[in-house]
Structure 1
Amino acid sequence: MSIKRSLLGVPLRLSTLALMLFLVLGAQSFAANPDVSDSEEAISAGKSVFNANCKTCHKLDQKYTGPALRGVTDRRSIEWAKSFIKNSAALIASGDAQANALYSEYNNLAMPQHEFLSDTELDNLLSYIEYGDKEAAVAEGAGDGEVAQAAGGSGVPSEYLTIILAVLVVVLLLILIVLGLIISVLTKYLNNQKLEEDDSEFINQKFDVKKVLRSDAFVVIVTALVIALVAKTAIDGLYTIGVQQGYQPKQPIAFSHQLHAGQYEIECQYCHTGVEIGKSANIPSANICMNCHQHIQNVGGKEGISTEIQKIYDAVDNNQPIEWVRIHNLPDLAYFNHSQHVAVGGIECQTCHGPIEEMEVVYQHSSLTMGWCIDCHRQTDIKAAGNEYYDKLVQLHSDSKNALKVKDIGGLECAKCHY
């Protein structure tokens, strides 16, 4: 005799349910981002892109200046993520609801454009964001926060103080509510007892606002809140001393890097002649401008020359330098050499200065804090191939299985920058 059993009649054990849940979630996780590579090569390349362009404002698994990034391809489409990374301002201007929501959530703080990143670099970046080591990301974030605090970085301390103040205010309100309830219960209880006239009058006295405002407890609470707010404001100010990220002064001549470096593709080294041979990149003189502009006639202004170009002619005719406003400033106690980074290290201008070829008016793209520099030295690989400058160093580190980084050749020594 055969017995047919319904599936509903089979008892489900807790272990069976757990296994089924694990398989379902695992399958969803495996198929979540089939277009994002989880190869070690892609993740490593993406980490370099992240550290060079994103780490100043973002962390993988926690909010910072910007949102936590891990899981972005689950929350958004890959094409949307790439568009936002390349030019968030254009996406916001198009009316995209998700982009505008992010823009509003982070106090209308626009993310710099990264149109110089190729599709391959963006794919690698998304690979690192999704599959980068979570424990390492958290550990590095904590370490960078400590360095940033020591170097004058901002963000985390301010957030912590805001949270602490909010918690204190909530606790204070809860205490007041509980005290009010206790007083109400005690008043009802005592009124049911046989009390003398003076005691009854004291218990049933009306609330006096003036007495409360003059009471020692109220004065202490208000004083504590004021001190806390003043301290928070002072600490926020201290953490931002010397940090000029986003600084964009008006220049004496409306020079467009977008036109010269972007549209006409003039190399940075043509105008900033000292970048490969000296400590300073130097500001170009009017004579360098005239190398081109003596052959260019723009319609409008005096004798067919535009008003802005006429200022260059005036500077040359009067033998007076153009008083450009310096944008990128480092403290006197910090030493930085452009030739060491550009000529020897092979660092692109955009690594520190951002998408300079897209800027109509130049602004300071990176924070340039000590923590920002140290993080770069920790993560940047030495470009030793075909560079005789590093031959002996490569020999000394030949036994190492890891790529040679700046930190391995003294990039974290205090005297390198603070001589």
Structure 2
Amino acid sequence: MSIKRSLTSVPLRLSTLAMLFFLMMGTQVFAVNPEVSDSEEAISAGKSIFNANCRTCHRLDQKNVGPALRGVTDRHSIDWTKRFIRNSQVLIASGDAEAVAIFTEFNQLVMPNHEFLSDDDLMNLLAYIEYGDKVDPAAQAAAGEGGQVAGGGAGIPSEYLTIILGVLVVVLLLILIVLGLIISILTKYLSNQKLDEEDKEFLEQKFDFKKILRSDAFVIIITALVMALVVKTALDELYTIGVQQGYAPAQPIAFSHQLHAGQYEVPCQYCHTGVEIGKSANIPSANICMNCHTHIQNVGGKEGISPEIAKIYDAYDNNKPIEWVRVHNLPDLSYFNHAQHVAVGGVECQTCHGPIEEMEVVYQHSALTMGWCIDCHRQTNIRANGNEYYDKLVQLHSNSKDALKVKDIGGLECAKCHY
């Protein structure tokens, strides 16, 4: 009778089953209406529609002027949702209970009609609403406080590496527990059997913890764990080199974008005058500030205004520029043109700068890495309608089933950004 052979064969199969069971238990399935596409193309197209038509009043995961939109296809049918988006007042006037409830909850604010949106546009919009821009609130809050977000560049995010390491450690512990249970059960069973002297000596041998610590298997396991932690730490640091995501420097004047762009809805282009006509968006001068502040908070003259606004007056009176600190910094080897993206491409400011209208203190929202830019060029459709410049390119691209994207007109060529 051979005990050694049986002790090595059974646990291996059970440990494999334990690993599969653990992985299955850790798998979650998130169900959204199957009619809504989760393709990157649909989500990207829907995001453009959302930014152009919905962003002023709605957010995906929180209430704003209107309700939070995420999960709308679970709360309502797709047909009802399309009709509400196109003309909510028709539904409300018909006495539809769901429409009337929303209208009443949000202070009877009238939602603009969107009858110009096609069925494809609406389905793309719903794809973005259900699947787009899912942000971890804790990470977003950390970014808002100005801390750097590890793993903000291209590659494997830091949290994924942490999860992988955690899973490996838990699987290892499960394997050890299963092996211990199997050995204990087999030992009790075999102790009641008739064994020869060699097998009996093997069965009755005492557990030697020091011997295990000195064993090759234990040394290999510990070495592998240490190396995995070292590699993870090194990757985290490498991915953050040159990435300033979350950077929020102190400014000479406590200017609130949440107040100006959010509450008072001052357009970005009013202060950043070059964004549609030049490479740079331009940092506003004191003259631009005084266009409004000559008439606002000017009760009692200069002595009656707040200390922060008084700094604007001092800069204006002394003809001295306000020394704003740049938040978004690209390396000198990279070329970026605001007008090309905003005026020609129709890219919304929030696409790169995040929810600027919600920021009390401006911080760098996006990674702004090369991989981040390239991914955008791969996903963004060209606005070719009504633009004769793209007519021949559209004609050349007509044989393709996919929409004409930035990558198709040289958006991935090195010389576009590095020359």
Instruction: Using structure 1 for the length normalisation, give the TM-score.
Output: 0.58
- The one-letter code of the counterpart of 1:381 is N
Partner deviation per Cα, 1:27-50 (whole Å, 9 max, x = no partner): xxxxx96xx9879xxx98764124
Match in the other structure for 2:19: none
Deviations 1:215-240 (A, max 9, x none): 55434432321221222232233334
CA gap 1:324/1:210 in 2 versus in 1, 3 angstroms: farther
Q: 1:6 is matched with which residue?
A: none
One-letter amino acid matched to 1:238: L
Q: Which residue of 2 aligns with 1:93?
A: none
**Separation in structure 2 between the aligned mates of residue 233 and residue 303 of structure 1, nearest angstrom:** 54
Is the Cα–Cα contact under 8 Å of residues 187 and 203 in structure 1 kept in the other structure? no
* 2-structure distance, mates of 1:180, 1:45: 51
Name 2:326's counterpart in structure 1.
326
Q: Which residue of 2 aligns with 1:48?
A: 45
Instruction: Say if 1:210 and 1:344 are closer, same or farther in 2 by CA, change over 3 A.
Output: same
Q: Percent identity?
A: 64
Q: Name 1:288's counterpart in structure 2.
A: 288
**Are the aligned partners of 2:36 and 2:123 in contact in 1 as well (CA < 8 Å)?**
no
Q: Could you tell me how far apart the structure 2 residues matched to 1:409 and 1:396 are?
A: 11
Q: Which moved more, 1:150-159 or 1:352-361?
A: 150-159
Q: CA RMSD in A?
A: 4.7
Letter in 1 for 2:46: V
Q: For 2:280, give the aligned amino acid.
A: S
Match of 1:406 in 2: 406
Retained in 2: the 8 A contact 1:299–1:306? no
| Cα displacement string for residues 33-80 of structure 1 (whole angstroms, at most 9, x for unaligned residues) | 6xx9879xxx987641247989xxxxxxxxxxxxxxxx955655579x
Matched with 2:277 is: 277
Q: Which residue of 2 aligns with 1:348?
A: 348
Deviations for 1:334-386, whole angstroms, at most 9, x for unmatched residues?
A: 32111211222232323322333343332333333333323332333322344
Runs of 5+ consecutive residues of structure 2 not aligned to the other structure: 1-31, 52-69, 83-110, 132-150
CA distance in 2, matches of 1:188, 1:46: 60
Superposed CA offset, 1:301-335 (max 9, x none): 96011111112223345554333232223333332
The residue aligned with 1:152 is 153
The farther-off stretch of 274-283 and 173-182 is: 173-182
Q: Secondary structure at the match of 2:252?
A: coil
- In the other structure, the counterpart of 2:335 is 335
Return 5+ residue gaps in structure 1 as ranges. 1-31, 55-70, 83-116, 133-149
1:167-208 deviation per Cα after TM superposition (whole angstroms, max 9, x unaligned): 354245424642674477469858976769xx9699454x45
SS at match of 1:170: helix
Matched residues in 1 for 2:360 and 2:414: separation? 37
Task: Find the aligned partners of 2:342 and 2:244 in 1 and give their Cα distance.
Answer: 23
Tell me, yes or no, if the aligned pair for 2:154 and 2:371 is still in contact at 8 Å: yes
Alpha-carbon shift at residue 153 of structure 1 (Å):
2.3
- In structure 1, how many angstroms separate the alpha carbons of the residues matched to 2:271 and 2:331? 24
Match of 1:366 in 2: 366
Change (3 A) 1:314 1:401: same
Aligned residues: 312
Per the alignment, do residues 124 and 253 of structure 1 end up closer, same or farther by CA in structure 2, a change over 3 Å counting? farther
Helix, strand or coil at the partner of 1:313: helix
Match of 2:228 in 1: 228
| Amino acid aligned to 1:412 | L
Cα distance 1:305–1:164, how it changes in 2: closer, same or farther (>3 A)? closer
Aligned residue in 2 for 1:105? none
- TM-score normalized with structure 2 length: 0.58
Q: 1:247 to 1:119 in 2, by over 3 A?
A: farther
Distance 2:36 2:183 in 1: 59
CA separation of 1:48 and 1:203: change in aligned 2, threshold 3 A: same
Distance 2:275 2:269 in 1: 7
